[in-house]
C-alpha cells in the first residue's frame, strides 16, 4: 500500500529518546527507525516513553507501517526549535510515494522523550478553491484560552457590520494544525474561506496535541477531555464573546473524532444554536482500526506487509478491549494511554446525542473508508423522528469530503483537492435556516 501509514499518521502519536547534539541524536533515531534497529531505539527510551512504546510495538506496528512506504530516498537536515525546556527536532524523510516528518523531542539531559510521525505539510500544493472570495472576508489571529494550554487560532470574518453567525471547527484524530492539514488537503481552511464568503464567521485553532506535544506525551491521565473537548468549548465561548459575532448564533462543526465527541462537547456548551457532524463515527475506535486496516489490505491482496499489518491491528484491537474491561494492566496501546482507552468505554455518541435537544446536521461521504456509511446510518436510526436533525450523504466524496471515483485510497490525500462546494453550500444554507428559525 502506498499509504497504510496514513492510519498511524492520523490516529497515533508515537512516543519515544540522547547523547550527542539534539540534531545529531534526532538523525540517529531516524536512521535506526529506517534500518529496523528497534532494539537500539528501545534502549534509548526513558520514563513513560519506554513503557508506552514497547519493542513489540516498535517492530510490529511502527516498523511494519514505515516499511510499507518503500525505500527512503533521502533524509533531510533536522530543523530545531524549543518547546519549553525541550528541544524539538523535525527530520524530513522522503519516500517515493510521500514525505513524512519525524519529530524527535529531547529534554535538557539529552533523553529522547517523544517520537512523532507526521505527514509533511503540502502548503505549496494548496490553492484557494473557486468558491472562496477573499475580497469578502478578513482574517485575524486570536488566542483560545488564557492558561497553560492556550492555543493560537485564526478567525475568518466576513466584511461588513455584522453581527455574524459563527462556527467553531473541531479536528479529527491526530496532532493536527488549524487547517486540519492532511497531505495536500486543508479542509478546515476550505471550510473557513468558503463559509466566510457566504456571511458566516469561522474560528479554527491549533490542536492541543500538536501545540504541546512533549507535555501531552508525558501525561499519564490523558483523555479526550484534554485532547478535544475542553478546547472546543473554550473556542465556542471565545467566539460568542466577540462583538462582531451574534452570541445567539454560535455553531460547532466536528469532523471525524470531533464529530464522535460532539455529545461531550455539547454537554459543556448546551447553549449553542446547533452542530454539524462531518464523518463522525458512532462505533468504537477498536472497530474502526481493524476495519480500516482490512480495507487497505484488500486494495492490493498481493501486498503481504499490508496483510500482516491488518493482523497486528486485530491484536491491538483485542488489547484495547482488554484494557477497557480491566483484563490488562497495559499502560498504553498503540500510543493511547490506558486512561484514554478506559474513558471511552461504553461511550455511545448516537445515544448520547439523542438526549441533547440541539439542532444538528450530519454529513457523510459515501466513499469514506475511515468512517463508514454504517456509522452514518446509526446516527439516522438513533435520531429518527427528530424534526430538528438533518442528514445528507454524498456518493463521490471521501473522508475529507473531496470528490473522486472508485474506491477511496490514502493516495487521494496526496493529490491537491478541496472540500466539495456542495458541502459548503449545504452547511451555509443549514446555518441560515437555523438562524431564520430563531
Do 99 and 240 lie in a common domain? Answer: no
185 falls within a domain:
yes
pLDDT computed for residue 97 by the predictor: 66
356 falls within a domain:
yes
321 falls within a domain:
no
- Single out the catalytic residue among 399, 408, 418, 435: 399
Dig out the grid coordinates for 363 from the structure: 454529513
Q: Residue 256 catalytic?
A: yes
Query: The CATH number of the domain where 87 resides is what?
Result: 3.10.450.590
Q: Which of 119, 137, 166 is the last residue of a domain?
A: 119
329 falls within a domain:
no
Q: Which of 53, 84, 119 is the last residue of a domain?
A: 119
204 falls within a domain:
yes
Backbone angles phi, psi at 284, to 5 degrees: -65, 155
205 falls within a domain:
yes
Backbone angles phi, psi at 72, to 5 degrees: -70, 140
- Single out the catalytic residue among 256, 390, 408, 435: 256
Backbone angles phi, psi at 227, to 5 degrees: -70, -40
Q: How many CB atoms lie within 10 A of CB 241?
A: 9
Do 115 and 132 lie in a common domain? Answer: no
- Single out the catalytic residue among 107, 246, 368, 375: 368
Do 169 and 268 lie in a common domain? Answer: yes
Do 163 and 215 lie in a common domain? Answer: yes
Do 20 and 166 lie in a common domain? Answer: no
Do 253 and 183 lie in a common domain? Answer: yes
Overall domain count for the chain: 2
pLDDT computed for residue 16 by the predictor: 35
pLDDT by 10-residue block (mean), the chain, 438 residues = 39 40 88 88 76 74 72 87 83 81 80 76 72 97 95 97 95 93 92 98 96 82 95 98 96 98 97 97 93 89 80 88 90 86 95 96 97 97 95 98 94 89 98 81
pLDDT computed for residue 410 by the predictor: 85
319 falls within a domain:
no
pLDDT computed for residue 68 by the predictor: 67
46 falls within a domain:
yes
Dig out the grid coordinates for 145 from the structure: 484560552
pLDDT computed for residue 65 by the predictor: 67
Do 90 and 129 lie in a common domain? Answer: no
Do 193 and 61 lie in a common domain? Answer: no
Query: The CATH number of the domain where 199 resides is what?
Result: 3.40.50.1820
Distance CA 416, CA 122 (A): 9
Q: Which of 63, 95, 119 is the last residue of a domain?
A: 119
pLDDT computed for residue 14 by the predictor: 35
Alpha-carbon separation of residue 278 from 1, 119, 281, 370 (angstroms): 26, 22, 9, 12
Do 52 and 166 lie in a common domain? Answer: no
Contacts for 11 with CB less than 8 Å, ≥ 6 apart: 173, 174, 285, 289, 334
Do 76 and 204 lie in a common domain? Answer: no
Do 50 and 183 lie in a common domain? Answer: no
Supply the range of the domain harboring residue 20.
6-119
Do 229 and 353 lie in a common domain? Answer: yes
Amino acid at each position: 500500500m502506498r499509504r497504510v501509514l496514513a492510519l498511524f499518521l492520523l490516529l497515533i502519536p508515537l512516543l519515544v529518546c540522547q547523547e550527542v547534539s539534539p540534531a545529531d541524536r534526532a538523525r540517529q533515531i531516524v536512521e535506526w527507525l529506517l534500518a529496523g534497529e528497534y532494539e537500539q531505539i528501545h534502549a534509548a527510551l526513558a520514563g513513560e516513553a519506554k513503557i508506552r512504546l514497547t519493542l513489540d510495538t516498535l517492530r510490529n506496528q511502527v516498523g511494519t507501517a514505515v516499511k510499507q512506504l518503500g525505500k527512503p530516498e533521502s533524509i533531510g537536515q533536522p530543523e530545531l526549535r524549543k518547546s519549553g525546556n525541550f528541544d524539538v527536532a523535525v527530520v524530513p524523510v522522503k519516500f517515493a510515494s510521500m514525505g513524512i516528518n519525524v519529530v524527535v523531542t529531547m529534554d535538557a539531559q539529552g533523553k529522547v522523550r517523544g517520537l512523532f510521525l507526521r505527514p509533511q505539510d503540502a502548503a505549496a500544493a494548496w490553492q484557494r478553491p473557486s468558491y472562496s472570495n477573499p475580497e469578502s472576508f478578513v482574517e485575524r489571529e486570536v488566542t483560545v484560552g488564557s492558561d497553560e494550554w492556550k492555543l493560537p487560532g485564526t478567525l475568518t470574518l466576513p466584511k461588513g457590520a455584522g453581527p455574524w453567525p459563527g462556527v467553531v471547527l473541531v479536528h479529527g484524530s491526530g496532532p493536527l494544525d488549524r487547517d486540519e492539514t492532511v497531505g495536500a488537503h486543508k479542509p478546515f481552511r476550505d471550510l473557513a474561506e468558503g463559509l466566510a464568503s457566504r456571511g458566516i464567521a469561522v474560528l479554527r485553532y491549533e490542536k492541543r496535541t500538536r501545540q504541546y506535544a512533549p507535555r501531552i506525551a508525558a501525561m499519564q491521565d490523558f483523555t479526550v477531555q484534554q485532547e478535544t473537548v475542553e478546547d472546543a468549548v473554550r473556542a465556542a465561548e471565545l467566539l460568542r464573546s466577540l462583538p462582531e459575532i451574534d452570541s445567539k448564533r454560535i455553531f460547532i462543526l466536528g469532523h471525524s473524532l470531533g464529530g464522535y465527541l460532539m455529545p461531550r462537547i455539547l454537554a459543556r456548551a448546551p447553549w449553542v444554536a446547533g452542530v454539524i457532524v462531518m464523518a463522525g463515527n458512532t462505533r468504537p475506535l477498536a472497530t474502526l482500526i481493524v476495519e480500516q486496516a482490512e480495507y487497505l489490505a484488500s486494495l492490493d491482496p498481493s501486498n503481504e506487509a499490508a496483510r500482516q499489518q491488518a493482523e497486528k491491528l486485530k491484536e491491538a484491537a483485542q488489547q484495547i478491549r482488554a484494557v477497557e474491561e480491566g483484563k490488562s494492566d497495559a499502560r498504553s496501546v498503540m500510543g493511547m494511554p490506558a486512561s484514554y482507552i478506559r474513558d471511552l468505554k461504553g461511550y455511545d455518541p448516537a445515544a448520547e446525542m439523542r438526549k441533547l435537544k440541539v439542532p444538528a446536521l450530519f454529513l457523510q461521504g459515501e466513499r469514506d473508508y475511515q468512517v463508514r456509511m454504517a456509522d452514518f446510518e446509526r446516527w439516522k436510526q438513533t435520531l429518527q423522528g427528530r424534526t430538528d436533525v438533518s442528514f445528507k450523504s454524498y456518493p463521490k466524496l471521501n473522508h475529507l469530503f473531496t470528490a473522486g471515483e472508485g474506491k477511496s485510497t490514502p493516495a487521494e490525500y496526496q493529490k491537491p483537492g478541496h472540500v466539495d462546494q456542495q458541502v459548503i453550500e449545504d452547511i451555509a444554507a443549514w446555518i441560515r435556516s437555523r438562524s431564520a428559525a430563531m
